[in-house]
Amino acid sequence: MSSPTDTFLQEADDLLAALEEALLELDENPQDAINIANAFRALHTLKGSGNMFGFRALGDFIHHFEDCFEKVRNGSAFVTPDLVAVALASRDHIAALLDLGPDTALTPELAETDRNLLAKLGEITGSDTLSAADRPSEDTASSNQPNAPVIERRWHIRFRPEPGSLGMGVRPDLLLAELSGLGRTMVTPQLDAVPGLDSYDPAECYIAWIIELVGPVDRAAIEDVFLFQMDAELTIEETQLEAQDMPEPAENDAALPDRGAEKTSTPAKGQASGGDSVRVQASRLDDLMNQLGELVIAQARLKAISSEIDDPRLSGTAEEIEALVTGLRDTTLSIRMLPVSMVFGKFRRLVRDLSSDLGKAVALTTEGGETEVDKNIIDALTDPLVHMVRNSIDHGVESADIRAAQGKPETATICLRAEQAGGEVLITVSDDGGGLDTEAIRARAIERKLISSDQSLSAAELHQLIFEPGFSTAETISNVSGRGVGMDAVRGVIDALRGTIDVRSRPGEGTEVTLRLPLTLAIIDGLMVRVDDDHFVIPLAAVEECVDLPDRNMVHDNGRRMLQIRESWVPYIDLDQLFGFGQSGAKGRRVVVVTADGRRIGFAVDDVVGQLQTVIKPLSRFHRSVEGLAGATILGDGSVALILDANAIVRRADAVRQIAA
Amino acid sequence: MQQEIHSQTDTAPIGLATVDGVPVDATETLLTFRMDGERFAIAVGAVAEIIDPQRTTRVPNSGSLAPSLLNVRGTIVPLIDLRHRLGMESGERLHSSRLLVIEIAIDGELTKIAIMADAVEDVIDAATAEVEPIPDLGVRWPTECFRGAIKHKGDLIILLEETFSFLDTRGSDAAL
């Protein structure tokens, strides 16, 4: 990430997600100590790093939010549905405060929300919480244990930031300000390390500070301030309170010896929670992928040259490079793979909010969240899935009394499921609601002039109509769904990802929408074929087998060509005719059998050239709308081969046959 | 062989023919090329590069506007059949034929296209004020494709519409 603040914001996103997850778990199991601890930990880390990066309003708000959870954690308050609701609203408020940016004052609206939320939190948990807007600053430390006896302690803190840390976004001024929020401080800068002007680097921090802190503070609170200063020199020592510090003698003398044992603080603990993984900016992954794509193309060129020159030393090296590039490709692709649960995780909140907005009891179940998909597909999937889940809850799930009358459980279930099948990933949204009303769809489609009134369509064809632009059967437009843009937009996104959508619905039993998506968008294994003089690539994931085409074709009813492969008849499409290249006179043609739309279909080609790694390049706007093409790729000799989209070719062939019939 | 266009006159204002309706002495730098015996010109700034004819790949069912594409340094670029768009007969490839790679914004999207010229001729400076409407003899051509014509050393040069918006694939039969 470019700047430390961006890194913080990214982490804050993760922490907010963790907080939400914990809160939603608590909604179901209010006693769950692990999730109470998770929520507390997320808040605590957010507060600490938020303060460090100048998000003072955020820190103040979370401080009180955290107090409430402290009460829950120590058993003096309990998780109630009300608390979860306010806590979720507070989570959203934190997100708004993060959007506000560092070192920014609250807007009046946000200050209002701030006050209201803290008031509610305080009311529910019985905490004495005041908003940042009202709270006197010296309140910070004591409000942790409002009823505990105030024990003043004196701390001697020596802090020398790592010289280069300013460049990492460390703000010593904020750290010192935070310390002074803990109690009375006296800060003395140590300038001995500042070099002469000739060797002075203005970007380095040469100053150390000695801070005398007096207040009801324990060591952990001080260490928290320096939580992210892993490379800094830091010593925290407790010293005797002096007469001017405090009127009464200290009560905690007994604690001193064992405090003294840990005189030199270990460097503050960092966030090691990430394990041994690293964060990488997404655009760097994209760059890596693009360069890998060019490398694959260059390697193909090397291979072509090597077979031309036919020198064993060259061909040996070329083969070695090919193996290395293949390995590099697989590793790079695996870096880009993320679990689908990253998308699924967002839906618990959505389902909870929608079901309470619409007064329908809905439970969400997820399966196969560990299935991995390319990052770009994950990113693109969220919006379509939101539309689909909204549609399911809004249109699919019946109201509780209708469900009861039909003998269904009162709580409806929506299931998000992911599974990998060959080179595709299937993502399914299913509900146990009323199913699609084919009659209503039909009537609507006729009204919208999508079909003519005498057209007879199968149920499956009618179901596909819900993805047409401007189609919506909802009688009243709600703010949840029903503007007719949703499902149309879903299809747009899925088409752009080279995916397909299947709809299965049974009246009274529910609807199941399945998205079939490729695992990756960038590089695929392809099978190169020749049609006439041109080369085309068929994605290998779709290919089942290649067979010879007998010279005597088997022509069956209405012009559909069939080929007997072992026991079964497989229809096939002549690509040369579909492409308008004219009848091929070639001998010894072959048929590539693919799976498209769940069927086995053959593509007759002049020759099967072989397998290759295919870097998918997008087509220009002049060719994007040509049906049957998934993109283009550059071959070893620099020429371009088109990549075929098996599903779209079958659709086109069906359409051509219908027009011809 | 590759020829770089040295557009040292890139700073010449293009399309700023008037200030408050009064013509000013603006000049623009144009690249002239020949197609079917006619001389055409486009703004130099739009030309990304000029390359020798290359192997192209035909795109099945793509229609007559952009029937094929080619690889220009790793980018897939459509080859626009400008002759067909302008209503000309399709031509032979000549020894002097060159591909002009042009970068234009279509519908807000920066797009590279290639067109085949029979010959690339010259880079000239032309006064914007001298651009005239296409004379009557030119009406056999679709006028939306042209900005006008200029006379240069006794020769008539036809200026292509500089944004190439006539290639927009929306709403036309272009993509069929």
Mean per-residue pLDDT for A304-315?
Answer: 90
- Confidence label for A661 from pLDDT (cuts 50, 70 and 90): low
Mean per-residue pLDDT for A256-262?
Answer: 42
Domain-embedded: residue A509: yes
Size of chain B, expressed as the number of residues it contains: 176
CB A430 within 8 Å of CB A511: yes
CB A229 within 8 Å of CB A165: yes
| Residues of chain B found within 8 Å of residue A639, distances taken between Cβ atoms | 55, 57, 71
- Confidence label for A422 from pLDDT (cuts 50, 70 and 90): low
SS (H, E, C) A633-652: EECCCCCEEEEECHHHHHHH
Residue B69 has its nearest CB partner, among A294, A297, A623, at A623
CB contact under 8 A, B80 and A634: no
CA neighbor of A40 nearest in space, from A63, A6, A7, A13: A63
How close is the nearest chain A Cα to the Cα of B59, in Å?
8
CATH of the domain at A498: 3.30.565.10
C-alpha–C-alpha distance, residues A106 and A89, integer Å: 17
At position A176, the amino acid (one-letter code) is L
Quick check: A220 pLDDT over 50? yes
Residue A623 has its nearest CB partner, among B56, B62, B107, at B62
- Same domain, yes or no: A503 and A621: no
Judging by DSSP bridges, how do beta strands B68-72 and B57-58 pair with one another?
antiparallel
Query: Which domains are present in chain B?
Result: 2-165 (2.40.50.180)
Cβ neighbourhood burial of A622 (10 Å; 0-12, 13-18, 19+): buried
Residues A369-378: tens digit of each pLDDT: 888 888 888 8
- Same domain, yes or no: A469 and A557: no
CB contact under 8 A, B169 and A294: no
- Choice between A514 and A475, residue whose per-residue pLDDT is larger: A514
- Same domain, yes or no: A500 and A357: yes
CB A354 within 8 Å of CB A393: yes
CB B164 within 8 Å of CB B104: yes
Give the count of domains, chain A: 5
Mean per-residue pLDDT for A621-642?
Answer: 87
- Same domain, yes or no: A584 and A649: yes
Q: For chain B, say whether A206 makes contact (Cβ under 8 Å).
A: no
> How many Cα atoms occupy the beta-carbon half-sphere of B142 within 13 Å?
14
Q: How many interchain CB pairs under 8 A, A with B?
A: 79
| Residues of chain A found within 8 Å of residue B70, distances taken between Cβ atoms | 640
Identify the domain boundary among A493, A518, A543: A518
CB contact under 8 A, B174 and A618: no
| Residues of chain A found within 8 Å of residue B74, distances taken between Cβ atoms | 294, 297, 617, 634
Mean pLDDT (chain A) is: 79
CATH of the domain at A22: 1.20.120.160
- Confidence label for A472 from pLDDT (cuts 50, 70 and 90): low
Burial A60-89 (b: 16+ CB within 10 A, else e): bbbbbbbbbbbbbeeeebebeeebbbbbbe
Q: Cα angle vertex A233, ends A232, A237, to 5°?
A: 130
Residues B92-120: tens digit of each pLDDT: 888 999 999 999 888 777 889 999 999 99
Which residues does B contribute to its contact with A (CB < 8 Å)?
54-62, 65-66, 69-71, 74-78, 80, 106-107, 109, 111-113, 167, 169, 174-175
Mean per-residue pLDDT for A601-608?
Answer: 92
- Confidence label for A658 from pLDDT (cuts 50, 70 and 90): low
- Same domain, yes or no: A372 and A310: no
CB A399 within 8 Å of CB A349: no
Least confident of A429-443, A459-473, A494-508, B31-45: A459-473
Mean per-residue pLDDT for B160-165?
Answer: 78
Domain-embedded: residue A273: no
Identify the domain boundary among A518, A535, A560: A518
Domain-embedded: residue A211: yes
Identify the domain boundary among A467, A494, A518: A518
| Residues of chain B found within 8 Å of residue A534, distances taken between Cβ atoms | 57-58
- Bridge partners, residue A238, by sequence: A155
Q: Position of tokens 């769904």?
A: A481
C-alpha–C-alpha distance, residues A6 and A282, integer Å: 13
- Confidence label for A474 from pLDDT (cuts 50, 70 and 90): low
- Same domain, yes or no: A437 and A330: no
CB contact under 8 A, A632 and B60: no
CB A249 within 8 Å of CB A204: no
- Same domain, yes or no: A313 and A200: no
- Confidence label for A269 from pLDDT (cuts 50, 70 and 90): very low
Here the ipTM equals: 0.80
Residues A567-579: tens digit of each pLDDT: 888 888 889 888 8
- Same domain, yes or no: A325 and A418: no
Domain-embedded: residue A630: yes
Q: Find the closest chain B residue to A577 by CA distance.
A: B60
Mean per-residue pLDDT for A483-510?
Answer: 78
How close is the nearest chain A Cα to the Cα of B134, in Å?
28
Q: For chain B, say whether A634 makes contact (Cβ under 8 Å).
A: yes
Domain-embedded: residue A270: no
- Same domain, yes or no: A216 and A311: no
Residues A178-200: tens digit of each pLDDT: 888 888 888 888 888 888 888 88
Quick check: A498 pLDDT over 90? no
Contact residues for A364 (Cβ-Cβ < 8 A; gap 6+): A347, A348, A351, A413, A414, A415, A416
Quick check: B79 pLDDT over 80? yes
Contact residues for A375 (Cβ-Cβ < 8 A; gap 6+): A282, A285, A336, A337, A338
**Long-range CB contacts (< 8 A, 24+ apart) of A277-285?**
A279/A1, A279/A7, A279/A10, A280/A335, A281/A1, A281/A2, A282/A375, A285/A335, A285/A336, A285/A375
pLDDT of residue A139: 41
- Same domain, yes or no: A176 and A233: yes
C-alpha–C-alpha distance, residues B166 and B144, integer Å: 7
CB contact under 8 A, B76 and A632: yes
CB contact under 8 A, B76 and A580: no
Domain-embedded: residue A278: no
Report how far apart, in Å, the C-alpha atoms of B104 and of each of A621, B47, B109, B120, B168 are: 12, 9, 8, 19, 11
Judging by DSSP bridges, how do beta strands A534-539 and A640-644 pair with one another?
parallel
Alpha helices in B2-146 (DSSP H): 82-85
- Choice between A278 and B123, residue whose per-residue pLDDT is larger: B123
| Residues of chain A found within 8 Å of residue B174, distances taken between Cβ atoms | 622
Residue B76 has its nearest CB partner, among A581, A617, A652, at A617
Residue B60 has its nearest CB partner, among A580, A621, A634, at A580
Domain-embedded: residue A250: no
- Confidence label for A143 from pLDDT (cuts 50, 70 and 90): very low
CATH of the domain at A552: 2.30.30.40
Q: Cα angle vertex A388, ends A387, A390, to 5°?
A: 65
Which residue range is the domain that position A397 belongs to?
340-518
Quick check: A60 pLDDT over 60? yes
Quick check: B57 pLDDT over 90? yes
Quick check: B164 pLDDT over 80? no
Compute the Cα dihedral for A4, A7, A13, A14 and give only its sign.
negative
CB contact under 8 A, A629 and B71: no
| Residues of chain A found within 8 Å of residue B66, distances taken between Cβ atoms | 620, 622-623
- Confidence label for A481 from pLDDT (cuts 50, 70 and 90): very low
Q: For chain B, say whether A623 makes contact (Cβ under 8 Å).
A: yes
- Confidence label for A160 from pLDDT (cuts 50, 70 and 90): confident
- Confidence label for B169 from pLDDT (cuts 50, 70 and 90): low
- Same domain, yes or no: A457 and A598: no
pLDDT of residue A146: 45
- Percentage, residues of chain A above pLDDT 70: 85
- Same domain, yes or no: A67 and A179: no
Helix (H, G, I), strand (E, B) or coil at A227: coil
CA neighbor of A553 nearest in space, from A570, A566, A539: A570
> Running DSSP on this structure, what letter comes out for residue B137?
G
Quick check: A142 pLDDT over 50? no
Residue A634 has its nearest CB partner, among B58, B74, B174, at B74
- Bridge partners, residue A188, by sequence: A210
Domain-embedded: residue A439: yes
Burial A405-417 (b: 16+ CB within 10 A, else e): eeebeeebbbbbb
Quick check: A478 pLDDT over 90? no
How close is the nearest chain B Cα to the Cα of A446, in Å?
25
- List strand residue ranges (DSSP E) for A191-266, in order: 208-215, 233-239
Token reading at B12? 């010449």
